[in-house]
């Protein structure tokens, strides 16, 4: 990962004015956290996070005459605005301790034009290497999915000690409400490396979604579902449908006289499981309905070709038909055969026509 490692960060004059104002009164002030990380990536900002070793009352007095917003006072923050740039200023007593409040080392970096970078946990090195690592005391179950989201959606890997901590924390996930983790769960599922993360950290998702557990060793259904999630278009209803579509197969399996497996009622069972899981995560009825629709109707387009589009549009809306075709495209890609790849290209072509 390329980051701006020069001795200075490019700060707008308004932010420099705020830092200088604090410095002129004898206080140390830094931009820090996600703000510093964003600047290190060479991106610009209009909203800054600043910490200073001054109390809130003193900060308020220093910026007397400025526009000061106290909406976040209950969070220990004053917001100062200067010509379109705002800075949330929080007090600190011990800089290392304050930075350790960030869950990840790359967010535990502070910068001052006078004092340079303060990086007590190796965040700059981790940014260069593209590594997600917990800061001390941040190995908590609620930080598991944020770490995996870094892995899934950005060019990050998980540090070995952080990976070990994650697996050690798996039993504690039972105490965290799924709805609380929904945002980071979506970041994982929609990331460009979602399939790899689901596969490598399957134990995490078994704890988070117990309905996946019975399918873990059941033929190759689950690995194929993970692959199909990773190879599909990054659309949430589509990827959730692919993740949940094999649920219930062990419940519905029967064998014919030749020993072949039959899964009567599996589709309906998968839809019910998906509804139950999504309700726990706090999804709306409409969101649940869209995932259920894809699961229930995915095989209705299995044999579709160019001449079938007009008739299919009588049964499904354009958006839903496209989702069904993209589902079959991803499902076919996960099978890794020449025939399946041919089918995947056909589904993709039909989806692109819509």
> Residue 9's pLDDT band (boundaries 50, 70, 90)?
confident
Inter-residue contact 274 to 265 (CB < 8 Å): no
CA 133 to CA 139: how far, in whole Å? Answer: 9
Residue 272 predicted with pLDDT over 80: yes
> What per-residue confidence (pLDDT) applies to 215?
85
Mean per-residue pLDDT, 197-224: 89
DSSP 155: S
Kindly state the percentage of the chain with pLDDT values over 90.
Answer: 77
Is residue 133 within 8 Å of residue 112, measured between CB atoms? no
Cα–Cα nearest to 15, from 34, 41, 36: 36
Given a cut of 90, whether residue 152 has pLDDT beyond it is: yes
Which range, of 158-167, 260-269, 293-302, 341-350, averages the lowest pLDDT?
A: 260-269
Query: Which pLDDT value is given to residue 311?
Result: 92
Sign of CA dihedral 87, 142, 291, 294: positive
**Residue 220 or residue 150, greater confidence:** 150
pLDDT at 7: 57
Q: What is the pLDDT of residue 257?
A: 65
The pLDDT of residue 327: 96
Q: What would the pLDDT profile of 51-74 be if each residue is shown by its tens digit?
A: 999 999 999 999 999 999 998 888
Instruction: Kindly compute the dihedral angle of the four CA atoms of residues 52, 122, 203, 174, in this order, to the nearest 10 degrees.
Output: -20
Cα 150 from Cα 142, distance rounded (Å): 14
Confidence of residue 3 (pLDDT cuts 50, 70, 90): low
- Class of the CATH-defined domain 13-129: alpha beta
Mean pLDDT of the chain: 91
Judge whether 253 and 262 are in contact, CB under 8 Å. Answer: yes
- Do residues 28 and 52 make contact, with C-beta atoms less than 8 angstroms apart? yes
Question: What is the pTM (predicted TM-score) of this model?
Answer: 0.88
Listed in sequence order, the residues at least 6 apart from 204 whose beta carbon sits closer than 8 Å to its beta carbon are 144, 145, 148, 166, 167, 170, 173
- What is the rounded average pLDDT of the residues 182-193? 96
* Token pair of 178 as six digits: 């799924």
Q: Which two tokens stand for residue 30?
A: 């830094």
């Amino acid at each position: 990962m390329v980051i701006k490692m020069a001795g200075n960060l490019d700060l707008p004059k308004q932010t420099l004015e705020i830092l200088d104002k604090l410095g002129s009164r004898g206080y140390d002030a830094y931009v820090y956290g996600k703000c510093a990380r964003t600047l290190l990536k060479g991106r610009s900002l209009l909203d800054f996070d600043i910490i200073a070793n001054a109390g809130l009352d003193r900060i308020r007095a220093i910026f007397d005459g400025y526009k000061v917003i106290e909406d976040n006072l209950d969070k220990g923050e004053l917001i100062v605005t200067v010509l379109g740039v705002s800075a949330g200023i929080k007090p600190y007593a011990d800089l290392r301790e304050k930075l350790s409040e960030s869950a990840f080392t790359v967010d535990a970096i502070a910068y001052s034009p006078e004092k340079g970078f303060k990086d007590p946990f190796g965040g700059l090195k981790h940014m260069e290497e593209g590594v997600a690592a917990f800061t001390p005391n941040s190995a908590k179950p609620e930080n598991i999915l944020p770490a995996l989201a870094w892995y899934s959606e950005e060019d990050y890997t998980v540090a070995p000690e952080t990976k070990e901590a994650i697996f050690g924390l798996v039993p504690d996930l039972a105490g965290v409400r799924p709805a609380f983790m929904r945002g980071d769960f979506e970041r994982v599922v929609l990331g460009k490396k979602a399939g790899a993360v689901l596969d490598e950290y399957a134990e995490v998702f078994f704890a988070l979604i117990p309905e996946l557990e019975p399918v873990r060793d059941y033929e190759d259904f689950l690995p194929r579902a993970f692959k199909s999630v990773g190879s599909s278009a990054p659309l949430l209803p589509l990827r959730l449908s692919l993740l949940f579509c094999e649920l219930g197969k062990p419940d519905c399996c029967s064998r014919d006289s030749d020993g072949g497996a039959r899964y009567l009622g599996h589709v309906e069972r998968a839809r019910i499981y998906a509804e139950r899981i999504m309700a726990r995560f706090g999804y709306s009825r409409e969101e649940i309905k869209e995932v259920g629709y894809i699961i229930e109707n995915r095989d209705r387009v299995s044999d579709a070709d160019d001449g079938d589009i007009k008739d299919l549009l009588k049964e499904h809306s354009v958006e839903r038909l496209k989702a069904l075709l993209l589902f079959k495209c991803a499902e076919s890609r996960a099978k890794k055969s020449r025939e399946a790849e041919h089918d995947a290209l056909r589904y993709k072509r039909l989806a692109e026509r819509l």
